[in-house]
Amino acid sequence: MTEHEPHHVSSSTGHVLTELQLYGWRPFQDEPDPRPLPDGNDVAGAITEIFDVLSGTLAETRLEPDLDDLLWSMVNLFHRSVLRIERQLNDNEQGQRRIASQQDGTEVKASELERLTAEGQTLIERRDAFELMRDLAAEHYEHQTGSAWRPRAGSRVNHRHLTSALIDSRDFLAARQKAKSEVMLPSGPKIAFSGGLDFNDHHLVWNVLDKVRAKYPDMVLMHGKSPKGAEFIAAKWAENRKVTQIGFAPDWTRHGRSAPFKRNDVMLDVLPIGVIVFPGTGIQDNFADKARKLGIKIHDFRKRGGA
């Protein structure tokens, strides 16, 4: 920094790096896309290098008069990406309004609205990322030419908000989920139960659940709804003891082989006060590991093997 340059509390480059770290990529397909946004430092470095190489190569040559237009065009590349995504976002917003107005309580309509809402959120984040890249490039343009960059089409604005349709859709989905939860998840302390299909020590399962019920008389038992094994025994216990139970069956049609693990996520999203894990497979190991990371108390009987 030169002596005459004023002190910057936060440079545009720093702002870009911070924003790229904060606003991650959100998928809108059934399976999440593991690809992240580009690394903020890599983006900043690439843009800096583009401007430095062009300026250094063309300066003091016969092509120097064209340098201004070339650098302007580099900024405009990012600006055009913003405008393109804006058009997609407008189409998405219209789609959300149309689907929201057609809601009839069916799962099909609600799922379509969920997909459009997630897609809209992703488009917003992509647009914001390109806006940040455009602003960083514009800063380099001004530094190299001494003039502020201005678009020839569209306005140079920053969006850090959700569109009205997105807000409406998210409110609708939140209210719908709350209504479903109140039906599916009655009041009372939630205890989540997981065990393998081959575990059949019903004496141990009943004994453990009786002790938990003695401590929490109004408990609600959540389990994986397996057709046999530990979870089937737990379901029979709840039926016999008149304990409210909720079965979370894997959605094999939608999630395929990952269905049991997705089901684990749904059960733990309820944030039970405790989980009980009996011997089983990697499904039970996954369940216990995720519960531990969430800070949920675990009653682990996997190493006992039914003894």
* Cα 115 to chain centroid, rounded: 13
Element (H, E) at 190: strand 190-194
Backbone angles phi, psi at 247, to 5 degrees: -95, 130
Instruction: Answer whether 283's CB lies under 8 Å from 264's CB.
Output: yes
With a CB cutoff of 8 Å and minimum separation 6, the contacts of 250 are 224, 259, 260, 262, 263
Q: What is the pLDDT of residues 121-139, one digit of tens each?
A: 778 778 888 888 898 899 9
Q: Domain map of the chain by residue range? A: 14-153, 183-300
How many CA within 13 A on the CB side of residue 15?
15
Q: What are the φ and ψ backbone dihedral angles of 102, each rounded to 5 degrees?
A: -100, 5
In angstroms, how far is the first alpha carbon of the chain from the final one?
71
Amino acid occupying residue 12: S
Let me know the angle formed at the C-alpha of 299 by 296 and 305, rounded to the nearest 5 degrees. Answer: 140
CATH 3.40.50.450: does it fit domain 183-300?
yes
Interatomic CA distance for residues 130 and 113, integer angstroms: 26
Low-confidence ranges of the chain (pLDDT < 50): 1-2, 5, 23-33, 162, 183, 305-307
d(CA 210, CA 304): 18
Q: What is the pLDDT of residue 2?
A: 46
pLDDT at 242 (0 to 100): 93
Res 180: pLDDT: 53
CA-to-CA distance for 5 and 160, rounded, in angstroms? 29
88 burial type by CB count under 10 A (0-12 exposed, 13-18 middle, 19+ buried): middle
The first and second tokens of residue 297, run together, are 């108390």
pLDDT of residue 286: 94
Q: Report DSSP letters for 68-118, one per residue.
A: HHHHHHHHHHHHHHHHHHHHHHHHHHHHHHHHHHT--S-HHHHHHHHHHHH
CA gap 239, 31 in Å, rounded:
35
| Strand arrangement, sheet containing 190-194 | 245-247, 220-223, 190-194, 274-277, 297-300
Backbone Cα Rg of the chain:
28
